């Protein structure tokens, strides 16, 4: 019992600190009971070289991620777990090859120096108690069977420390191999500081209309084949769908409207206490409309004033002309029905302009922690300021800047224009019941406000109204009819030759969705719905198949419109990416044919080119005024013999012929080490991610998720 007591005293702290990774019994329960986790029977979910990733371990990771972050969908958790485990696998292959291991002594150092451990085992004197840590570890080992979750959590904490240290050692070894030479430092120095002046004749690509250049399907296919790394694609599916919501029918609305009509007038009800009929006041005559609304409304709401522009447009003209005591409705807004009662009408400004000096006190809402004055002291300060500004209003802005605790103090307390109801009730009441120039004090949850009314718009009629609001839900009869209609529509859609045309005739617009991946679960416009994706990738699916899916708020009729295997893009798929490149190249050939002549002037005349001069251009910043970055053109200018015309150069924005005027080489310096260090930092930036990506490409990764999910 003493051992268990010690574990209990420490485990609560450590569980929170080290995240206590995989609680075996919790994770196993999640896997066993969750229908969202994979249903296949493959014991291995991935193979990376000789290393295998067990399916059970992967499922544990997925379940753990979802436990730690409930907002993650199953597919999001799967992707995150997959990426992490693949990263660990390719790195562990490297650790094995290099013999990178973490011994027990080094592990003890990592544990002792871990900030979380130090915090958990610091005694009352503020000193790290290593003996307490040793006792805890010893007790964890002894309670392996009685407290398996604590034991497993500790072991996973140790494993995390080991993996992090291995990765650090490996990355440090890689970084140690990044040693730019002094010559490279010298090159970087000149790359940044050498400058060139040159003249150019340029013909922009956009001077030739795209319609004048034809690109064939075969040309696109050849380009894709010659650049395979750029046009790889994962397995995906295309679909289109029609969404049919389950919403209340007109009959459902009328039922609710009839119920609301029964609430308007008084009625006779039997009173069990008096054993006789009594009159129960209706919404129109009740003396307690707020209580009546609270008892009968699905959505509680307090009385408030409305101007005409704040009322629903379709009812605004009718409501604004009502008088106190009038009932309006029932009327429909969205999937709700309203019954409103006007409590009061009056003319009030719809907007005002004011300034205030906020005197906060300790404990007031949003008060600065540095505010120490009491409420009594705040009231006294506000009263003193009020007396002064009432005698001399011109000092208001000055005092606001000096004394206010509000965010508008820098503006002299000026709040600008604001509409009725925007401020807290006490503040709002003072402003809109007052007159221009009035200065007074109001207390709110934020403190005491010294307020000055700077201006008020002309009063307009407003109605003070409260409403009984009823949510309208589809009845069972409505739901059954929609289900029957959707089933019939789906059956007809399966037979239709043209899905889009058929749905259009039925009053629906089909929405296309392209490139849905096998392990995605989000359908644009429909949200998360894994069953649709699984259906799209079913091995028995064929293009043209149609199916109906139940959603939370309706039905989706889905048609499979395309199937794309893993590999290179087809010409059709790559067209949007490749066609602009090929058009540009063909335009370049047309332009080159025109760029003939013995001088830039002659070339410009023959090709109708733009002429210009670029001065002081560096390789680091290869910008030609009016054209943007043109690195190939600038690089050519550096190596071109002066007074010599270049061949036509295909740039980013145009085809150029250039003539170098002069190259100014920066004076050599004695020490290039700062540039060497700069290169080293550049190459080390993001090295961890780059290494992992390189290792993924270098390893053959066999993905078996499709056998399970």
Angle between helical axes of 148-176 and 74-98 (0-180°, round to 10): 60
Q: What is the mean pLDDT of residues 172-196?
A: 94
Residue 283 has pLDDT above 90, yes or no: yes
CA atoms within 13 A on the CB side of 678: 13
Residue 28 has pLDDT above 60, yes or no: no
| b/e code 269-307 from CB counts within 10 Å (16+ = b) | eeeeeeeeeeeeeebbebeebeebbeeebeeebeeebbb
According to the model, what pLDDT value does residue 325 have?
A: 94
Residue 21 has pLDDT above 80, yes or no: no
According to the model, what pLDDT value does residue 32 have?
A: 39
Could you report how far apart the first and last alpha carbons of the chain are, in Å?
A: 46
According to the model, what pLDDT value does residue 276 have?
A: 85
According to the model, what pLDDT value does residue 519 have?
A: 87
Lowest-pLDDT range, 86-90, 205-209, 252-256?
A: 86-90
Lowest-pLDDT range, 264-278, 423-437, 584-598?
A: 264-278
Helical segments of 521-652, H only: 530-536, 571-594, 600-607, 631-639
At 372-415, the pLDDT tens digits run 999 999 999 999 999 999 999 999 999 999 999 999 999 999 99
Residue 142 has pLDDT above 60, yes or no: yes
Q: What is the mean pLDDT of residues 286-309?
A: 94
At 315-327, the pLDDT tens digits run 999 999 999 999 9
pLDDT band at 24 (very low <50, low <70, confident <90, very high): very low
Strands 522-523 and 527-528 turn out to be: antiparallel
CATH node for 195-233+571-664: 3.10.50
According to the model, what pLDDT value does residue 205 have?
A: 97
At 538-568, the pLDDT tens digits run 988 999 999 999 998 999 999 999 999 889 9
**432 closest CA partner among 357, 361, 353:** 353
Maximum Cα–Cα distance across the chain? 117
Residue 71 has pLDDT above 80, yes or no: yes
Query: pTM higher than 0.75, yes or no?
Result: no
Residue 510 has pLDDT above 80, yes or no: yes
Identify which has the larger pLDDT, 241 or 59: 241
At 425-434, the pLDDT tens digits run 999 999 999 9
* Strand blocks (E) in 518-553: 522-523, 527-528, 546-551
Rounded to whole angstroms, the Cα distance separating 573 from 379 reads 72
Residue 113 has pLDDT above 80, yes or no: yes
**256 closest CA partner among 200, 331, 185:** 331
Residue labelled with tokens 């007031």: 364
Does residue 53 sit in helix, strand or coil?
strand
Residue 277 has pLDDT above 90, yes or no: no
Say whether domain 236-246+474-565 belongs to CATH 3.10.50.40.
Answer: yes
According to the model, what pLDDT value does residue 525 have?
A: 92
Backbone phi and psi for residue 48, each to the nearest 5 degrees, phi listed first: -120, 100
Q: What is the mean pLDDT of residues 334-345?
A: 96
Q: What percent of the chain has pLDDT over 70?
A: 94
Q: What is the mean pLDDT of residues 28-51?
A: 60
Residue 589 has pLDDT above 80, yes or no: yes
Rounded to whole angstroms, the Cα distance separating 474 from 300 reads 22
According to the model, what pLDDT value does residue 41 have?
A: 52
Q: What is the mean pLDDT of residues 249-276?
A: 92
According to the model, what pLDDT value does residue 38 have?
A: 44
At 467-494, the pLDDT tens digits run 999 999 999 999 999 999 999 999 999 9
Fold match flag (236-246+474-565 vs 351-456):
yes
Which pairs with CB-CB distance under 8 Å and at least 24 residues apart come from 686-689?
687/171, 687/174, 687/175, 687/178, 688/167, 688/171
Contact 329, 339 (CB under 8 A): yes
- Indicate the domain borders of the chain: 2-176, 195-233+571-664, 236-246+474-565, 250-348, 351-456
Rounded to whole angstroms, the Cα distance separating 169 from 162 reads 11
Does residue 270 sit in helix, strand or coil?
strand
Helical segments of 570-623, H only: 571-594, 600-607
Average pLDDT, the chain: 89
Q: What is the mean pLDDT of residues 446-462?
A: 96
- CATH class as words, domain 351-456: alpha beta
Rounded to whole angstroms, the Cα distance separating 550 from 544 reads 20
Rounded to whole angstroms, the Cα distance separating 414 from 417 reads 9
pLDDT band at 295 (very low <50, low <70, confident <90, very high): very high
């Amino acid at each position: 019992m003493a051992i268990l007591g010690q574990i209990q005293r420490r485990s609560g702290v450590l569980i929170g600190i080290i995240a206590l990774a995989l609680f075996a019994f919790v994770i196993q329960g999640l896997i066993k009971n969750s229908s969202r986790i994979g249903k296949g029977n493959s014991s291995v979910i991935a193979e990376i070289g000789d290393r295998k990733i067990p399916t059970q371990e992967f499922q544990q990771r997925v379940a753990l991620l979802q436990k730690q972050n409930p907002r993650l969908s199953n597919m999001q958790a799967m992707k995150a777990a997959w990426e992490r485990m693949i990263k660990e696998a390719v790195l562990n292959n490297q650790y094995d090859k290099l013999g990178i291991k973490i011994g027990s002594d080094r592990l003890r150092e990592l544990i002792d120096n871990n900030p979380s451990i130090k915090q958990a085992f610091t005694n009352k004197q503020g000193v790290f108690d290593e003996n307490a840590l040793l006792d805890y570890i010893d007790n964890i080992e002894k309670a392996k069977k009685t407290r398996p979750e604590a034991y497993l959590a500790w072991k996973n904490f140790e494993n995390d420390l080991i993996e992090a240290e291995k990765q650090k050692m490996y990355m440090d070894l890689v970084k140690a191999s990044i040693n730019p030479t002094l010559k490279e430092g010298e090159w970087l120095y000149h790359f940044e500081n050498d400058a060139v002046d040159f003249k150019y004749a340029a013909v922009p690509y956009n001077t030739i209309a795209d319609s004048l250049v034809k690109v064939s399907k075969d040309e696109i296919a050849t380009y894709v084949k010659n650049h395979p790394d750029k046009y790889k694609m994962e397995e995906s599916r295309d679909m289109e769908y029609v969404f049919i919501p389950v919403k209340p029918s007109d009959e459902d609305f009328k039922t609710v409207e009839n119920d609301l009509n029964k609430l308007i007038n008084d009625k006779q009800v039997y009173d069990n206490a008096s054993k006789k009929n009594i009159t129960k006041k209706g919404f129109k005559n009740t003396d307690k409309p707020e209580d009546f609304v609270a008892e009968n409304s699905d959505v509680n709401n307090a009385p408030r004033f409305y101007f005409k522009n704040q009322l629903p447009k379709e009812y605004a003209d009718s409501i604004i002309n009502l008088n106190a005591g009038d009932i309006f409705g029932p009327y429909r807004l969205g999937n709700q029905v309203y019954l409103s009662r006007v409590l009061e009408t009056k003319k009030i400004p719809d907007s005002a302009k004011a300034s205030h000096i906020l005197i906060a006190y300790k404990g007031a809402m949003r008060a600065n922690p540095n505010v120490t004055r009491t409420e009594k002291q705040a009231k006294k300060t506000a009263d003193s300021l009020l007396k002064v500004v009432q005698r001399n209003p011109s000092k208001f802005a000055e005092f606001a800047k000096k004394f206010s605790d509000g965010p508008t103090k820098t503006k002299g307390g000026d709040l600008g224009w604001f509409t009725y109801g925007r401020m807290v009730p006490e503040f709002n009441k003072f402003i809109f019941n007052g007159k221009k120039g009035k200065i007074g004090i109001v207390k709110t949850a934020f403190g005491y406000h010294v307020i000055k009314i700077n201006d008020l718009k002309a009063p307009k009629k407003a109605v003070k109204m409260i409403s009984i609001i009823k949510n309208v839900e589809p009845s069972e009869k409505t739901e059954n009819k929609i289900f029957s209609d959707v089933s019939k529509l789906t059956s007809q859609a399966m037979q239709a030759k043209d899905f889009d045309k058929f749905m259009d005739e039925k009053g629906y617009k089909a929405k296309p969705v392209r490139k849905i991946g096998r392990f995605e679960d989000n359908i644009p416009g429909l949200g998360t719905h894994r069953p649709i994706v699984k259906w799209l990738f079913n091995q028995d699916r064929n293009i043209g198949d149609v199916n109906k899916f139940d959603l939370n708020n309706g039905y989706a009729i889905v048609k499979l419109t395309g199937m794309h295997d893993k590999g290179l893009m087809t010409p059709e798929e790559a067209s949007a990416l490749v066609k602009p490149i090929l058009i540009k190249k063909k335009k370049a050939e047309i332009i080159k044919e025109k760029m003939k002549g013995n001088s830039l002037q002659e070339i410009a005349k023959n090709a109708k080119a733009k002429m210009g001069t670029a001065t002081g251009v560096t390789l680091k910043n290869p910008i030609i005024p009016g054209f943007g970055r043109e690195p190939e053109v600038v690089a050519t200018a550096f190596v071109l013999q002066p007074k010599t015309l270049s061949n036509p150069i295909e740039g980013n924005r145009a085809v150029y012929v250039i003539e170098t005027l002069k190259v100014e080489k920066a004076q050599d310096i004695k020490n290039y080490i700062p540039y060497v260090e700069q290169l080293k930092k550049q190459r080390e930036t993001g090295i961890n991610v780059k290494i992992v990506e390189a290792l993924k490409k270098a390893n053959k990764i066999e993905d078996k998720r499709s056998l399970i999910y």
